[in-house]
Amino acid sequence: MHGLNVSRAQDPPINRIRVDGTLREFKIAIADGELQELQDRLARTRWPAELPGVGWARGVPLGYLRELAEYWRTQYDWRRHDARVNELPQFVATIDGQRIHFPHVRSPEPGALPLILNHLWPGSFLEFIELIGTLADPVGHGGDSDDAFHVVCPSIPGFGFSVPVRDGGWEVRRIARAFATLMSTLGYQRYAAHGGDWGSRISRELGVAEPERLVGIHLSTLITLPPRDAAELGELTEAEQQRLQANARFLQDGAGYFAIQSTRPQTIAYG
């Protein structure tokens, strides 16, 4: 995740973020030649050797990855999945110079609450594909009309179809400002926000940036750091101590991953 290292004084007001042009409808339309090229490239992969019996100790096992690549090359039904996703009304807009892709599903209920869903890292709006219909039309799914939402699922710049990234500096505050502008452009002056992982930080930042417009935020990831004072650690319960130890092991095992992602992400992007 990106750190919050841009001062508030440098942040332009939400209402001064520019929207370039109008919203345009979007459909997934990947050319047959692109899919064939991908299949050919996967078939030509030169797989590395592997020490016997290491399992997951050194990273992804060779057998696991080869099986995944073969499924992707020969069994994954691109057109079926494209058609399913294209059932969603999708749009693109250019905000603050960046292309933003988003499904936008309006509820049939006139009193529905606008809701922006912010995906995690590394993910996409597809995380919510099973939820969107129920959120927008709860009555059609056996629910209550009072629980209806107008749903907006933007793709974070650099993810999904919000590409290419036009410039640097797309940390959580700038993303939140762009998404707030998107909601205004759609005519939503009061709305709610949900997010997980990176999306939780974007949703939180929406609440910080425009508290008067946010009805509320819901986070499925809440990142907290352990106290620095060792004396406070002694006050933790046994269950809390176990969670803290598990977190320390996770950070230790992923130290290389976190370091390269936060300092040299382009290096592994080539891979």
What CATH code is carried by the domain that includes residue 123? 3.40.50.1820
How far, in Å, CA of 138 to CA of 63, rounded? 43
Asked if 64 and 101 sit in the same domain, the reply is no
Which residue, 203, 223, 243, sits at the end of a domain?
A: 223
Asked if 130 and 77 sit in the same domain, the reply is no
Q: Is 143 inside a domain boundary?
A: yes
Asked if 238 and 134 sit in the same domain, the reply is no
Q: Is 65 inside a domain boundary?
A: yes
Using DSSP bridges, classify how beta strands 90-95 and 19-26 pair: parallel, antiparallel or unpaired: antiparallel
Q: Is 52 inside a domain boundary?
A: no
Asked if 35 and 102 sit in the same domain, the reply is no
Give pLDDT, residue 226. 74
Give pLDDT, residue 178. 95
Asked if 128 and 200 sit in the same domain, the reply is yes
Q: Which amino acid is at 133?
A: G
The CA angle 115-118-123, to the nearest 5 degrees, is 145
Q: Which amino acid is at 159?
A: F
Q: Which residues of the chain have pLDDT under 50?
A: 1-16
In the sheet where 113-118 sits, what is the strand order?
A: 19-26, 90-95, 98-105, 149-152, 113-118, 191-195, 214-219
Give pLDDT, residue 6. 30
Note whether 132 and 105 are within 8 A (CB). yes
Asked if 246 and 183 sit in the same domain, the reply is no
The number of domains in the chain is 3
Asked if 125 and 181 sit in the same domain, the reply is yes
In the numeric block, which tokens belong to residue 4?
């919050």
Asked if 176 and 254 sit in the same domain, the reply is no
Distance of CA 199 to the CA centre of its chain: 6
Q: In terms of residue numbers, what domain contains 169?
A: 1-27+86-223
Asked if 213 and 155 sit in the same domain, the reply is yes
